[in-house]
Structure 1
Amino acid sequence: MSLVLFLLQTSGPVLLIALVTGLVSGGCSAGLIALISYSIAQETAGALVVAAFVGLGAIALSTAMVSRILLVQFSQAAVFELQLQLCRQILATELKALEALGLPRLLVVLTEDIQAIAAAASILPVLMINIAGTVGCMVYVSWLSWQVLALVLLITLLASLSCRWFLVAGRRGLAAARDNQERLFQHFRSLIEGIKELKLHYLGRQDFFAIDLQQTAHQVRHYNQTGLSLFAVLDSWGKFIYFFAVGLVLFALPNWIGISPNTRVAYVLTFTYLLGPMENLVNKLPLLGQASVALDKLETLGLTINQSVATSAPPPVQSWHQLALKG
């Protein structure tokens, strides 16, 4: 929620336009699926159907293009504003508090955390487009059969519950990698600032590399691999659930309720279209997980992306106007 509020504050108009055009594009895409299903069920397509297909396709493509262009501008503005916002807060923070935090922590915040949050910010409108298309498809499925919609919603609920463990475990791995990243930056700082001493002492140089830097880098790699691997398993598990739902509609559902072949074709087309938005959402979960970890780390350090613009302390008031040396 804090990320959404920050985006609305920094790039509200651009974000809203991108969201509106993205929602229109997603709705038109869902309309195209319904129109294609209707055309397959009919023997011939009339002029009105052809005109509707051309119109929906043109609107979907044009609004998607506008939304993508706005997203490029929006993502760059988000990175710019986020960097300045955190730098203002760091400048306004007391020196004692900054020394307690340490330079490596601040460097990780200004580099990796900002990039993680900016990456998540840039994909939020894209996810809104996918959500709009998914909702449109669900409306079409409910129009075909409310029983099938209820079945799809039940499968979605069970899938969400089964995927929660992968999400929590994957996020835990990314959080552990983020904690070790601060130690790695500390070793980078020691390497640069103490390069003369390390050059003069061979054994110390070897110990520093093997015991400190290499082991910390290995831990960062291990936790990142663990977290991202769990998200990859989640992707495969989501596809399995998708194919299970398609097979249920094709082979099992006709035995339970009367479904015509044309209606089954409409379901398959709709679910095939949904595979794209669903896969896109699952692929973006690691970015959202990293952004969530970065936001938690900012709060831990006493920083926030929604804090009012910080200002430096005012200069001391000078009550004298001239200085004279006597004697």
Structure 2
Amino acid sequence: MSLFDILVKQSPNKVFASLLLGIIAGLSFAFLMPLILISLEEASTRLFQSTSDSSATFLSLEVSNIRFAVAYLCLFLTIMISKAGSQIIMSNVSIDATRALRLRMYRHIAKLRIRDIESIGHSNLIVRLTTDIGNIIGGVRVLPVILINIVTIIGLLGFLVYLNVEVFLLLILTIFLAIVSYHIPMILSVRFFRHARHYTEILQESIRGLILGSKELKLNDSKREYFYQEKLRSTEDEIRSGARKGWYTMYLAISYGDLLSFMVIGLVVFVIQNYYAIDTAELIGIIMALLYMRGPIAELLNVLPALPLARISLKKVHDLFNDYPAENTQIENQKIAPWDKIILNDVVFTYKNQLENADISDANDFESSELEPSDLSTADNFAGTNFSIGPIQLELNRGETTFIVGGNGSGKSTLAKVLALLYKPEEGHLVFGDSVICDKNTADYRQIISAIYLDFYLFDEILDAKTSELTETAESYLKYFQLDDKLSVNDNEFSTIDLSGGQRKRLALLVSFLEDRDLYIFDEWAADQDPEFKEIFYTKILGDLKQKQKTVVVITHDDRYFKHADKLVTMENGKIRDITTKDKKSVEAEVSEVQLTEEQLA
């Protein structure tokens, strides 16, 4: 899809009107020069066989050649109205088109698989939504200007045909060669801009690290200096180098293009007239037309740099749609059948090759802690060959509290995302009651799950319909989570989310309680809590959820609270090593495979 396609798809009738007005403006511009020459050369018989006009008085001013003066005024008003109208209409269409494109991107990103979002990277997505969309808007808005000036140039070339066909053909050849030579540096500048654009994405991630990793950098001067030199300064140098080369080359091309008309005039005056019979009137007309053509060419060259930038950004946006398709899931509003257990039957999930594509939570375990020698093999699994969990054989009962424990990078958070239906297994099945999870029902079953992960995001409002009942419930939960003295809820909006890490997690848990789901997943939720509230979480909050017959999965390292779990699942290197039940009976991890009926698998 091109820039023009975006506009036509948005509003074809308005685009047609804008183009028509642009053509009218361009033709009117082109007719100004012949009109001026005719009025100045009354004796000329080659141009429209005109005769001398009589003078007239208008507003106490004497106006000669009244017919030409009126024609000139009409052209002037036509140009002003049609040019402004063309740009206004196209501007409105471009605003609507870019809004529609942004909304489409929002919807597409919301429907992307979590793995794809992690693979693309948050910073790259932000660049596409901000910088790229801005470049596309800039490219779209100059299209009317380009059209008007192209039509003007074509009209003036037609005037040159009228003056002298042979000279016109030679000029066309000269202009063609000049344009080709102009485009060579333009092509080079686009390559340099692509280089700068690539490193702009890298810089976004480095800036994110500078802000979010400020505490770690503050505590280590050598790390901070290395990060500054190798991640920030070197990337900025690459952007500067690409941008400099791109703009230097482009400005050289623009300067060269701006002088094309004078180059052609020089050829006509000093070379071409020696080989072709050109009288003085024709020579003056050709030179005047070429000088007049310089204005549209200069304006054209000024706006052309927006097009390559827009094309690069448009390709990036299209790559997002083409390379990362939306999930093949949608809400069917099916009634969820009652279920008493969740079964993971030989579930396998695999990460692809690189640490940057690995699970964020498990990867952060390595970055935030010192690795023991025994952990290095696990880190290598993330950074080298594919890291996978499974085959996982696990059963979670309704109203049961399950703790998942294990070393850093053992796959706990990955398993939690598989349980939450955020990751789709490559092998095996998840079964809720008698229903096997598939693409058709995944979105529906996600609506009975609530999860708080290590990298959770806290919205500043409750994303639900505003009701007095919801507000009262939220206020009661504020007291329940000991947050009533920190903030309040007004029209579903929190008065503040500027809280400590532990308090933000409590607020996230409050929102989770308001959703009232069947399955709750907490990934190291209590890690940031003070000892008092940690005790409340493991004894009271989990107990209250159990009384409500909620199925709860808790990823934790707090071994002193393991006694509160109905089931303790120990993971190691992506596999379940051991399952211990409430009565301390150890169950083999390789439990007997759950047989699924053909009807369930269908």
The two structures have a TM-score, normalised by structure 1, of: 0.90
Give the stretch that moved more between structures: 63-72 or 230-239.
63-72
Change (3 A) 1:209 1:123: same
Partner of 1:11: 11
8 A Cα contact 2:164 2:282, kept in partner: no
Shift of 1:303: 4.3
Residue 72 of structure 1 and its aligned partner are, at CA, apart by 3.4
Matches within 5 A, 1:128-277: 128-277=147-296
Tell me the residue number matched to 1:110.
129
- Letter paired with 1:109: R
Structure 2 match to 1:74: 93
Within 2, Cα distance between the matches of 1:272 and 1:184?
Answer: 45
Task: Give SS of 1:56's match.
Answer: helix
Deviation of 1:302 after TM superposition, in Å, equals 4.0
Shift of 1:132: 0.9
The answer for the alignment partner of 1:33 in structure 2 is 33
Aligned counterparts of 1:158 and 1:313: Cα–Cα separation in 2: 56
1: CA distance between counterparts of 2:308 and 2:327? 28
Q: CA offsets, 1:136-165, max 9 Å, x none?
A: 111111111111210121012211222232
After the TM superposition, which of the residue ranges 178-187 and 148-157 deviates more from structure 2? 148-157
User: After the TM superposition, which of the residue ranges 119-128 and 73-82 deviates more from structure 2?
Assistant: 73-82
Give structure 1 regions of 4+ aligned residues with deviation exceeding 3 angstroms.
43-47, 299-304, 309-312, 319-326
CA distance 1:138–1:311, shift in 2 (3 Å):
farther
What is aligned with 2:571?
Answer: none
| Aligned mates of 1:170, 1:3 — CA distance in 2 | 20
What is the one-letter code of the residue matched to 1:23? I
Whole-Å Cα distance in 2 between the matches of residues 160 and 295 of structure 1? 25
String of CA shifts for 1:247-280, please: whole Å, max 9, x gaps.
Answer: 1222333322222222222212211221122122
Give the strand-richer structure, 1 or 2.
2
**Cross-structure match for 2:358:** none
Say which is worse superposed, 14-23 or 176-185, in terms of deviation: 14-23
Alignment partner for residue 318 of structure 1, among 335, 339, 347? Answer: 335
Query: Does 316-325 or 38-47 show the bigger shift?
Result: 316-325
Q: Is the 8 A contact 2:10 2:93 kept in 1?
A: no
The answer to whether the Cα contact below 8 Å between 2:28 and 2:79 also exists between their aligned partners in 1 is: yes
Shift of 1:98: 1.7
Which of structures 1 and 2 has the larger relative contact order (alpha carbons within 8 angstroms, sep 6+)?
1
Q: Once the 2 structures are TM-superposed, how far is the Cα of residue 74 of structure 1 from its aligned partner?
A: 3.0
- Mapped partners of 1:229, 1:303: distance in 2: 33
Q: 1:53 corresponds to which residue?
A: 72
Alignment gaps of 5+ in structure 1? none
Matched, 1:124 2:143: yes
How far apart are 1:321 and its partner, in Å?
A: 8.1
Q: Which structure 2 residue ranges, 5 or more long, are not aligned? A: 44-51, 54-64, 340-517, 519-546, 550-602
- Deviation, structure 1 residue 75: 3.3
Given that 2:123 and 2:204 are in contact with CA atoms closer than 8 Å, whether structure 1 keeps it comes out as yes
- The one-letter code sitting in structure 2 at the alignment partner of 1:239 is D
Greater helix percent: which structure? 1
Quick one: distance in 2 between partners of 1:280 and 1:107? 32
Deviation at 1:82, TM superposition (A): 2.0
1:15, 1:125 within 8 Å by CA — same for their partners in 2? no
CA contact (8 A) 2:261 2:291 kept: no
Alignment correspondent of 1:89: 108
- Select between 213-222 and 243-252 the one with higher mean Cα deviation: 243-252
Partner SS for 2:305 = helix
The Cα of 1:281 is off from its aligned counterpart by 2.0
From 283, 291, 311, the counterpart of 2:310: 291
Worse-matched range after superposition: 312-321 or 83-92: 312-321
When structure 1 is superposed on structure 2, of 314-323 and 55-64 the one drifting more is 314-323
Kept after mapping to 2: 8 A contact 1:37/1:265: no
Contact 2:87 2:144 in 1 (8 A): no
Q: 1:320 Cα deviation (Å)?
A: 4.0
1: CA distance, partners of 2:335 / 2:171: 72
Cα deviations by residue, 1:272-299 (Å, 9 ceiling, x for unpaired): 2211221222222321111121123234
- Report the aligned-residue RMSD: 2.6
Question: How many residues were matched structurally?
Answer: 323
Counterpart of 1:62? 81
Contact in 1 for aligned 2:150/2:296 (Cα 8 Å): yes
- Once the two structures are overlaid, the 10-residue window that deviates more, 39-48 or 265-274, is 39-48
Structure possessing the higher radius of gyration over alpha carbons: 2
Question: In the superposition, relative to structure 1, how do residues 20 and 107 fare at CA in structure 2: closer, same or farther (>3 Å)?
Answer: same
Q: Percent identity?
A: 27
Output one character per residue of 1:156-177: Cα deviation in whole Å (capped at 9) or x when no partner: 2211222232122111000101
Q: Secondary structure at the match of 1:317?
A: coil
